[in-house]
Amino acid sequence: MKVIIAAAGTAGHINPGIAIANKIKQEEKDSKIIFIGTTRGLENDLVPRAGYELKTIEAYGLNKKISLDNIKKMFKTLQGFGQARKIVKEFKPDIVIGTGGYICGAVISSAQKENIPTLLHESNAFPGKAIKFLAKKTDTILVSFKDAIPRIKNAKNIVYTGTPVKIKKKEYSINEKTKIIKDLGLKNTKPIVLIFGGSQGAKKINEAVIQILKNKANKNYQMVWATGPKQYDDIKEELENSHIHICKMENVKILPYIYNMEEVMNVVDVIVSRSGAMTITEISNLGKPAILIPLPNVSHNHQLYNAQVLEKENAAKIILNDELEGSNLNKAIEEIVTNQKKCEDMGKNALKVSVQDVEEKIYQEISKLVKK
């Protein structure tokens, strides 16, 4: 099978594309797969690191505001359509797959003009502009959440498959779990809350956690907090100015970044985070209660729609970014960790959103289109 995958920008777009590529390679070892991205996004690191060739084209997200910069980007994006068409013609793929970002417009459209089967994967509960623009002509659209289906109009074929993610539910023995917790410098005696704001951290979430620590409000729970590498030193200094020393804190482990995230997510009791599509999928797969703070000012406010997928199942509580403070975050955490039944029920409810055998379902849809 010869495959082109269009993915650009964020890990939330690129990692599902890599997972799909890996599944195709697993099933059909002789497959040839290339990625198309831009020169600016994380694809330049993640795709070669995964062992795949990356070809780049010009592509930009455009806004409605008229400006010289926007006009330049529009012309470069139009050039990108020609560049994508050239790659598609030369590579002659059996199928072209898009997993997100404005790159999909040029690549999927080019494939459609060459009568090559096309497939799009939408990770968010509120579909992006590319999906809406391409829906009518795309052969199959895969969605992560059922909520996305009625929001995609005039599609030929929509299939609910979920999103492929690296983090899976693990059943650790008591000794294994105890070791993971001990390595964090924590104990088995109190509930553990994991707090993070994405790979770079989230300033608003970090500010709320600082308030909790300064007020010594986390008496009933332990905390694993990933600040983000760029914010760690500033947070350390701010806490030290309040006579709080990171290395001497009880019940709290503060890290710039968590490298063993799968282990940590599996052993904690509650997760506090943003609500990107992959994070929501991971939380549901793990069956963890969550407190979600959607990132504001993103396209169509899609993180709020993602968070609502878990909220409506009574698996998560949403706190809006503008309303987030240490006091209401601590209150929300306390309401879960001090009520074991509520904690267990929210976890079970999260599992209702989980989709099993995601990669296999996606591969089957790809195979159907190629065989046609």
By the 10 Å C-beta count (0-12 exposed, 13-18 middle, 19+ buried), 79 is classed as middle
pLDDT in tens, 71-105: 676 666 677 788 999 999 999 999 999 997 788 88
Give the model's confidence band at 64: pLDDT under 50 very low, under 70 low, under 90 confident, else very high. low
Instruction: Please state, in angstroms and rounded to a whole number, the distance separating the CA atoms of residues 140 and 203.
Output: 38
Contact 253, 177 (CB under 8 A): no
User: b/e for 293-307, b at 16 or more Cβ within 10 A?
Assistant: bbbeeeeeebbbbbb
Instruction: Please state, in angstroms and rounded to a whole number, the distance separating the CA atoms of residues 300 and 274.
Output: 16
By the 10 Å C-beta count (0-12 exposed, 13-18 middle, 19+ buried), 149 is classed as middle
Give the model's confidence band at 294: pLDDT under 50 very low, under 70 low, under 90 confident, else very high. very high
Q: What is the mean pLDDT of the chain?
A: 92
Per-residue pLDDT at 199: 67
pLDDT in tens, 201-244: 789 999 999 999 999 999 999 999 999 988 999 999 999 999 99
Alpha-carbon Rg of the chain, whole angstroms?
22
3-state secondary structure 345-371: HHHHHHHCCCCCCHHHHHHHHHHHHHH
CATH class for the region spanning 2-162+356-371: alpha beta
Per-residue pLDDT at 9: 83
Mean pLDDT within 338-367: 96
Numbered ranges of CATH 3.40.50.2000 in the chain: 2-162+356-371, 174-351
Q: Give the residue, 133 or 324, on which the prediction is more confident.
A: 324
Q: pLDDT above 90 covers what percent of the chain?
A: 78
Give the three-class secondary structure for 316.
Answer: strand
- Looking at domain 174-351, does it have CATH number 3.20.20.80? no
Look up the pTM and report it: 0.88
Give the three-class secondary structure for 34.
Answer: strand
Give the three-class secondary structure for 37.
Answer: strand
